Amino acid sequence: MAAYGRGVRVGNWLEDLHEQEELLRDFISRRERGQLLMQRLARLQENILKKVKLSVSIDGLVHFGDTVMIMNPDTKTPEAKDDEKRGDLTLAVDMEEISLFSDDPPQVSRGLSAVNSVNPVGRNSFCIVSADGSGVGEPLRFGQNFLLGTTGGISDTMFYLGSDHKTFTAFAKKSRLQPVFLTGEDSYLTCWQAAFLDPQLRLEYEGFPVPANTKILITHCYTNRNLAIPRNFCVWSYFGKECEVVCHNYLDSHKVEEYKNYWEIITGNPGAEGGTMIDRPKPHPDGYKNFHEKTENIKIQDYIQ
């Protein structure tokens, strides 16, 4: 009888070999169909993080049909707390992580968040949609109902920004305030209005066109709550740690809205360099020529000293 050697196979080696071959065939089949997790993540990043060209406002106003970003500008005020997140924040859609591991196409989540990115991509780009039948290209006016729609960069279906009163089961996860969500149905829960920033002139500006790239308030029609970002409440999403978005009226001691309720509707840069109006250099009050001369004089004086 031959002695036992290292080359002798023991156990269910034949069944294990068949299982390995089956796993290999399944891997090759899923790779050919593009269903591997790494392939799905690569396609997701290509779509949701794909650069989007924002609409250019020739007259400086916001129009129906414009592709814009909704930005909460960074405001350095004494009321700001140390634990609050700084910088400009833009509204962005979230993804359903469960759909990444299934064979179905990735789905847009009902949740939203605020990101520290001012680069227009599919995730943080929104469309101004009319709620009263106004035509595309007509200016949006203060006090006029409108919808904020987005496809999230991965879907052909338009989802609308909405909100509703908080209940015992429906509220924001961190701040427990009135939640904000995305829905595929347009109703009165998805209607919003733009309000002038100064409360003393708010009534006088009713019916005037809404200027782009200017601080305004965005009010939910059904609950009369302002869209806000509590910068000290962060949530974890597929893309990392981001700020929570809610509907709440943050008022100071004079009953005036605070910086957490300030919003700007960002449009595209009409210059050849592209980008957004945030990237466009600010104009000099004295003109470029006078500014250039003052800069040269300062440099000469510094050199002499």
The DSSP annotation for 188-217 comes to GGG-EEEE-S-TTTTTTTTTSBPBTTS-BE
Is the pLDDT assigned to residue 59 strictly greater than 70?
yes
The DSSP annotation for 43-61 comes to HHHHHHTSB-PPPP-SSSB
User: What's the rounded Cα separation, in Å, for the pair 209 and 228?
Assistant: 22
* Options 3.40.50.2300, 3.40.50.300, 2.80.10.50, 3.10.110.10; CATH of 52-278: 2.80.10.50
Is the pLDDT assigned to residue 161 strictly greater than 90?
yes
Is the pLDDT assigned to residue 286 strictly greater than 70?
no
Cβ pair 196, 203 in contact under 8 A: no
Is the pLDDT assigned to residue 292 strictly greater than 70?
no
* Averaged pLDDT, 268-285: 76
For 199-251, the pLDDT digits (tens) are 999 999 999 999 999 999 999 999 999 999 998 888 777 777 888 999 999 99
Q: Residue ranges per domain, the chain?
A: 13-49, 52-278
For 190-209, the pLDDT digits (tens) are 999 999 999 999 999 999 99
Q: What is the pTM of this model?
A: 0.79
User: What's the rounded Cα separation, in Å, for the pair 104 and 37?
Assistant: 12
Cβ pair 181, 111 in contact under 8 A: yes
For 251-261, the pLDDT digits (tens) are 988 999 999 99
